[in-house]
Chain A
């Protein structure tokens, strides 16, 4: 029997992030998902039982599965992004498990940055609270294509449809103002397993998919931008051997759009026009390449291309500017310095910039703009303007997560201090 017959080789990959605090039962939900989908191995289960008992718990605490580091286990909270993996015959899943406390906005933003879907947990007893708005805001800001709102602890509100519908209406009111993402609502009980992997017998009024069913059904293939051909050059391949004497290949990953052999392209920043001569991948010749493939492009003309260059479609080109407006999430305890200089990383390009203006700060609990206090500290989100040493080639983040995102790096400490989404 071949691997293909198992169905295992034709799986898709879905990355999702979970937001919610310990109290919402987020870790329990993930634990339940791994447990019911049989992704927990016996030795992990044994270690888990031991850990639960030594902490005085009577039942196996599924939340302990996801709390990785010693410090966290001792404090009983998740403090960093942890990645989990499981698979069903249809899909492989990567979970970016992030804590939901206000002080950990930076972790949520990190987890959200690579996700196709965001799972937002709401405690059915509390409904839409400040924290829910914060999570919805971050999911919209990071432009996560799909949002799954899980109303948890339905067992504690007698599996009431009325409670569920009210929370759903409240959430739609909040999210409606934020963006137009693909929204889904599910009533669940992570602790008991209702609608997580198995359909609930307590909520027959709910006819939608279970949590896992939905994760398997989300149309992830449609999340890539196939319209705007952008190829940031990572590395130039020039073998010094007789066999490949004239070989000059540009290695990189297709950020968006489709590249075809024969396509007219332009190399930025120079602006020279040429055509794609070949698309190579480890000895194979491809007719076309699309995101997220890592390939090597060869061009018809010999022009100056190096790391930091971007190969783009000749007609459909990105914007370019040295003055850029962006939303920034601040990741460092050292506050943003107005007029301060930072190292900037955007695709394979590294340059310097200066923050010229803080336009406003966002109250992430109410999503209102703050104009009277413009200091930007850890976990705060603001709209700023930067001026760069060289022109940046970009698309708005809402259109292109790859060419629209950047990070700011502190020049003294080398720490990543800001996550930017270009407007």
Chain B
């Protein structure tokens, strides 16, 4: 017997595919931002489904802070090769060398904010008119009001008070010269949806998301990975623990969780039981109550 119902993951999938197809239809030179994190992995998976049997008709772009987990880079390169997708990598280090960005100082120094400079420069240089990102509205309060199609002025900035109304499924990508759009195809997904979908679709994930032994230290209640460019305070000490990443970003601001989860099912159980949001482990959001909003205004992801 025929039935006409799909579950919430299929409905989210259908919506995201619709959005990604709109991007390709409405823009001349779109690009998909890829960090190697689970959200961008899912977004790229959706893009492949959207155009099958055609190869994804836009390149991937990674804004590389240089402070990466090695596994991320390997996963990224393998994926691009396997799927025949063009990969563009832009380095924050280049922006620093050119004097376009200034490295932060101190123990909590991070290149996370500097990514904005490199990203905006790359968009301008390569003349992209739309950059798709894996941002989700449930991540943070300022993101809750973000549109699917988010207009950026010629300075790459977001004006939260002057957003275009977005009604029904009618996405408007009209713009003037020099302006561009950020589009967030998985806006309506939550962390749980992302993991459930990865399980349902059996998507291969970087090993970082599963439990592994790693040298870590505890700072302000959050566990951080040790790396050559991470400085420890006198009271902090490195130790080896069983951990996994809940998000993957720049090492300097990505917390790891103590966990023994080594299957997708166990991760889902863990997410379901978790009492801290995944961004709770990210030092960059804790800087102030409006931290994300400020970064977004300036053109952050």
Residues of chain A touching chain B, judged by Cβ–Cβ distance below 8 Å, are: 1-3, 6, 8-13, 41-44, 47, 50-51, 66-71, 73, 79-85, 87, 91-92, 94, 106-107, 109-110, 113-114, 221, 224, 226, 234-235, 237-239, 241, 243-244, 247, 251-253, 258, 280-283, 287-288, 290, 292-294, 296, 307, 331, 343, 345-346, 348, 401-402, 405-407, 409, 414-416, 419
Q: Which of B8, B55, B142, B193 has the largest count of A CB atoms less than 10 A from its CB?
A: B8
Q: Is B80 an interface residue (CB 8 A)?
A: no
How far does the alpha carbon of A129 sit from the alpha carbon of B5 in the complex, in Å?
39
The one of A239, A247, A345, A405 in contact with B172, judged by C-beta atoms closer than 8 angstroms, is A345
**B:106-155 near A, CB below 8 Å:** 137-138, 141-142, 144-145
- Choose from A12, A239, A281, A346 the contact partner of B8 (Cβ within 8 Å): A12
What residues of chain B lie closer than 8 Å to A346, measured between beta carbons?
170
Encode B282-295 as 1/0 by CB contact (under 8 A) with A.
Answer: 00000001100100
Q: Is the CB of A235 within 8 A of B21?
A: yes
CA distance A292 to B12 in the complex (A): 10
Q: Would A41 and B18 count as touching, CB distance under 8 A?
A: no
- 12 A-B contacts (beta carbon < 8 Å): A3-B199, A13-B7, A13-B11, A71-B161, A83-B145, A83-B188, A84-B138, A114-B168, A234-B18, A287-B2, A402-B169, A416-B167
User: Given A3-B200, A41-B276, are A292 and B15 neighbors across the interface (CB < 8 Å)?
Assistant: yes
Bound Cα distance from A224 to B293, whole angstroms: 36
- Nearest to B12 among chain A residues (CB) is A13
Q: Are B54 and A239 in contact (CB under 8 A)?
A: yes
- Min CB–CB distance A410 → chain B (angstroms): 9
Separation of A48 and B77 alpha carbons in the complex (Å): 41
Binding-face segment, B30-38, B45-53, B63-71, B87-95: B45-53
Contacts of B164 in A (CB 8 A): 415-416
Main secondary structure on A side of the interface with B: mixed
Contact A409 B174 (CB under 8 A): yes
- Name A243's contact: one of B12, B25, B53, B176 (CB within 8 Å): B53
Min CB gap A242→B, angstroms? 12
- For residue B231, CB closer than 8 A to chain A, the reply is no
Q: In the complex, what's the smallest C-beta–C-beta distance from A214 to chain B, in angstroms? A: 18
Q: Please name all residues of chain A whose beta carbon is closer than 8 Å to the beta carbon of B10 when the two chains form the complex.
A: 293
Residue of B nearest to A260 (CB): B2
Q: Is the CB of B21 within 8 A of A283?
A: no
Q: Which residues of A contact B21 (CB under 8 A)?
A: 234-235, 251-252, 294
A282 to B55, CA, bound (A): 11
Whether the Cβ atoms of B52 and A43 lie closer than 8 Å is no
Find out whether the CB atom of B280 lies under 8 angstroms from the CB atom of A41: yes
- Are A416 and B192 closer than 8 Å at their CB atoms? no
